[in-house]
């Protein structure tokens, strides 16, 4: 993966560089052809005219001396007279390709603009073309004789160092940028290939993918951070799933072995009638616990599976709570619990049967984990946005440590304190799931002076 991404990225970048180079060349060539070439022609024309004027105004000088001198300063010159007598000064032209008509026109008094008319196909390089055609021609009258003088700057003499300088600059720019592209691509691609490796590790079930660069401030750093968080979440889910399975197995196993033990005792001939009755009721209790647990597990799994399970209706929660309290009346009396409540009329949109499960669990817990003669208070309050239902008991209470875990599946607090109370540890996780599905929250806190517990459910209105 690293290989191909690296090659692709480097190739694309270098390709872009080449393409930009080509485009830049065409654009600057257009600029040269339209703007610089005429300027160059104009400049050289005025130089040629000045040379001609100087010669014409100073007939006493020797024309060959003057032109030799000009050649030394940096010009290539070609002088021809009416009789076809020709002379060259300075560096040689690569091609002497002037036509006779072109020469004749200059002798007849015209100016020859070879530079501006030099063919376009040659691009900017036309500037460097060392050809006689690529020159400026002016007529001269010297000692009553007519001449045609063709000049062009000796590029090699004048610009050789510049030429080299630009060549080196150009070559170095290309080499260095390719080098830096190759290097920076490594830097860019590396975290991606690390992520790819981490993904493979994760797929194999190895969650310890801490080697990722999460210090980077860019998108890749963000991606790495999200990836690490995802890995942590997956690890947590995996751990919970394993715990869940082992908890289920244990919680099914223990009532089953109890049942097995007591059925063995039942078939023992020496067991008295009274003992048999006692064992039967224990067996019945274990069976009903198993049955409650399977029901709760089924409910949890359907809550997990789809959110569609929540069928909301307009319901009056104060009457719903009062009905529930009625059905618990005999249990409350049996435990000699003092019950009080403040339940103003309130209608909300919720799933009646799921919400009833919530109240049922909270109320049965407040009863189960209470002392004989203790108290339970239920408070319903509401504002514009939300309603809040609290179950306040004066029971055995919950330690800070435990409050963090009681909503976990199968979690049951300190066995020594709750030993006498049978339970599955699933009730509160069902409560939390249902409340969450309704967009609400459930929280727990110690009742004042550490006597008992307060569970508060908040639902949006
Ligand atoms: P279960 O009651 O079946 O054990 P729950 O999920 O309903 O399972 O409760 C989890 C644990 O939270 C209980 O085992 C108990 O230790 C603790 N708990 C729940 N409600 C109360 C309460 N009102 N007072 C004290 N402890 C509680």
Residues in Cβ contact with 127 at an 8 Å cutoff, skipping those fewer than 6 apart: 32, 36, 37, 40, 155
Q: Is 251 in the pocket of ligand 1 (CB under 6 A)?
A: no
Q: Which atom of ligand 1 is nearest to the CA of 428?
A: 6
Q: How far apart, in whole angstroms, are the C-alpha atoms of residue 422 and residue 429?
A: 16
Residues in Cβ contact with 14 at an 8 Å cutoff, skipping those fewer than 6 apart: 178, 181
Q: How far apart, in whole angstroms, are the C-alpha atoms of residue 355 and residue 457?
A: 11
pLDDT score of 356: 95
Ligand 1 pocket test, pick from 423, 432, 444 with the greatest ligand atom count within 8 Å of Cβ, gives 423
Q: 262 is written with which tokens?
A: 């007591």
pLDDT score of 10: 85
Q: How far apart, in whole angstroms, are the C-alpha atoms of residue 122 and residue 119?
A: 6
Task: Please state the rounded mean pLDDT for residues 66-90.
Answer: 92
Q: Is 80 in the pocket of ligand 1 (CB under 6 A)?
A: no
pLDDT score of 151: 94
Domains annotated for the chain, with CATH where assigned, are 2-161 (3.30.450), 207-305 (1.10.287.130), 307-460 (3.30.565.10)
Ligand 1, atom 11: closest residue by C-alpha: 412
Q: Is 357 in the pocket of ligand 1 (CB under 6 A)?
A: no
Residues in Cβ contact with 369 at an 8 Å cutoff, skipping those fewer than 6 apart: 393, 395, 396, 418, 421, 453
pLDDT > 90 fraction of the chain, expressed in percent and rounded: 49
- Assign 380 to helix, strand or coil: strand
Q: Is 365 in the pocket of ligand 1 (CB under 6 A)?
A: yes
Query: Do 163 and 171 meet the contact criterion of CB atoms below 8 Å apart?
Result: no
User: Residue 245: is its pLDDT beyond 80?
Assistant: yes
210 pLDDT band, cuts 50/70/90, is low
Q: Furthest-apart CA pair in the chain: how many Å?
A: 158
The per-residue pLDDT for range 364-387, each reduced to its tens digit, is 999 999 999 999 999 999 999 999
Backbone angles phi, psi at 405, to 5 degrees: -115, -10
User: Residue 77: is its pLDDT beyond 90?
Assistant: yes
- Indicate the burial class of 221 (C-beta count within 10 angstroms; 0-12, 13-18, 19 or more): middle
Q: How many CA atoms lie within 13 A of 383 on its CB side?
A: 5
State the distance from the centre of ligand 1 to the C-alpha of 398, rounded, in angstroms. 9
Q: Which atom of ligand 1 is nearest to the CA of 413?
A: 16
Q: Is 293 in the pocket of ligand 1 (CB under 6 A)?
A: no
Least confident segment among 93-102, 120-129, 170-179, 433-442: 120-129
This prediction's pTM: 0.58
What 210-219 contacts at long range (C-beta under 8 Å, 24+ apart), as own/partner pairs, is 216/191
State the distance from the centre of ligand 1 to the C-alpha of 413, rounded, in angstroms. 7
Task: Please state the rounded mean pLDDT for residues 301-317.
Answer: 88
State the distance from the centre of ligand 1 to the C-alpha of 423, rounded, in angstroms. 8
State the distance from the centre of ligand 1 to the C-alpha of 437, rounded, in angstroms. 21
State the distance from the centre of ligand 1 to the C-alpha of 137, rounded, in angstroms. 109
State the distance from the centre of ligand 1 to the C-alpha of 246, rounded, in angstroms. 20
Q: Is 370 in the pocket of ligand 1 (CB under 6 A)?
A: no
Ligand 1, atom 19: closest residue by C-alpha: 365
Q: Is 358 in the pocket of ligand 1 (CB under 6 A)?
A: no
Ligand 1 pocket test, pick from 413, 447, 455 with the greatest ligand atom count within 8 Å of Cβ, gives 413
**Average pLDDT of the residues of the chain:** 88
State the distance from the centre of ligand 1 to the C-alpha of 287, rounded, in angstroms. 21
Ligand 1 pocket test, pick from 295, 360, 369 with the greatest ligand atom count within 8 Å of Cβ, gives 369
Q: Is 433 in the pocket of ligand 1 (CB under 6 A)?
A: no
The per-residue pLDDT for range 328-347, each reduced to its tens digit, is 999 999 999 999 999 999 99
Q: Which atom of ligand 1 is nearest to the CA of 396?
A: 25
Task: Please state the rounded mean pLDDT for residues 200-223.
Answer: 78
Q: Is 374 in the pocket of ligand 1 (CB under 6 A)?
A: no
Q: Which residue has the higher pLDDT, 354 or 304?
A: 354
- Assign 337 to helix, strand or coil: coil
Q: Order across the sheet with 145-153: list the strands.
A: 86-89, 75-81, 145-153, 136-142, 112-113
CA distances from 405 to 115, 213, 443 (A): 91, 33, 12
State the distance from the centre of ligand 1 to the C-alpha of 336, rounded, in angstroms. 20
Q: Is 74 in the pocket of ligand 1 (CB under 6 A)?
A: no
pLDDT score of 69: 94
H-helix or E-strand containing 91? none
pLDDT score of 271: 85
State the distance from the centre of ligand 1 to the C-alpha of 408, rounded, in angstroms. 11
């Amino acid at each position: 993966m690293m290989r191909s991404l690296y090659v692709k990225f480097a190739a694309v970048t270098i390709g872009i560089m080449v393409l930009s180079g080509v485009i830049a060349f065409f654009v600057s060539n257009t600029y040269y052809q339209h703007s610089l070439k005429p300027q160059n022609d104009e400049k050289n024309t005025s130089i040629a005219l000045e040379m001609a004027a100087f010669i014409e105004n100073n007939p006493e000088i020797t024309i060959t001396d003057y032109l030799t001198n000009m050649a030394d300063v940096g010009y290539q010159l070609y002088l021809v007279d009416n009789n076809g007598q020709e002379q060259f000064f300075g560096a040689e032209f690569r091609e002497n390709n002037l036509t006779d008509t072109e020469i004749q026109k200059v002798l007849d008094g015209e100016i020859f603009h070879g530079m501006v008319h030099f063919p376009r196909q040659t691009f900017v390089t036309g500037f460097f073309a060392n050809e006689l055609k690529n020159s400026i021609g002016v007529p001269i009258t010297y000692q009553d004789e007519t001449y045609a003088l063709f000049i062009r700057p000796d590029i090699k003499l004048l610009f050789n160092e510049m030429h080299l300088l630009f060549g080196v600059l150009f070559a170095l720019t290309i080499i260095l940028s390719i080098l830096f592209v190759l290097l920076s691509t490594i830097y860019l691609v590396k975290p991606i290939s690390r992520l790819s490796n981490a993904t493979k590790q994760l797929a194999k079930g190895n969650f310890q993918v801490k080697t990722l660069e999460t210090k980077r401030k860019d998108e890749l750093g963000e991606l790495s951070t999200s990836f690490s968080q995802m890995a942590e979440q997956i690890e947590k889910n995996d751990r919970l799933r394993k715990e869940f399975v082992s908890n289920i197995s244990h919680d099914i196993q223990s009532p089953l072995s109890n049942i097995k033990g007591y059925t063995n005792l039942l078939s023992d001939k020496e067991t008295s009638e009274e003992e048999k009755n006692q064992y039967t009721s224990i067996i019945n209790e274990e069976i009903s616990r198993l049955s409650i647990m399977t029901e709760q597990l089924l409910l949890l799994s359907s809550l997990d599976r789809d959110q569609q399970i929540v069928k909301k209706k307009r319901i009056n929660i104060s009457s719903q709570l009062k009905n529930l309290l009625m059905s618990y009346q005999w249990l409350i009396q049996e435990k000699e619990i003092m019950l009080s409540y403040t339940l103003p009329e309130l209608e909300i949109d919720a799933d009646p049967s799921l919400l009833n499960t919530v109240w049922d669990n909270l109320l049965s817990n407040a009863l189960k984990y209470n002392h004989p003669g203790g108290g339970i208070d239920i408070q319903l309050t509401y504002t514009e946005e939300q309603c809040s239902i609290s179950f306040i008991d004066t029971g055995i209470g919950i330690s800070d440590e435990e409050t963090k875990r009681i909503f976990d599946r199968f979690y049951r607090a300190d066995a020594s304190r709750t030993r006498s109370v049978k339970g599955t540890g699933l009730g509160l996780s069902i409560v939390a799931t249902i409340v969450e599905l309704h967009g609400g929250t459930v929280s727990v806190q110690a009742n004042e002076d550490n006597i008992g517990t307060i569970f508060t459910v908040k639902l949006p209105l």
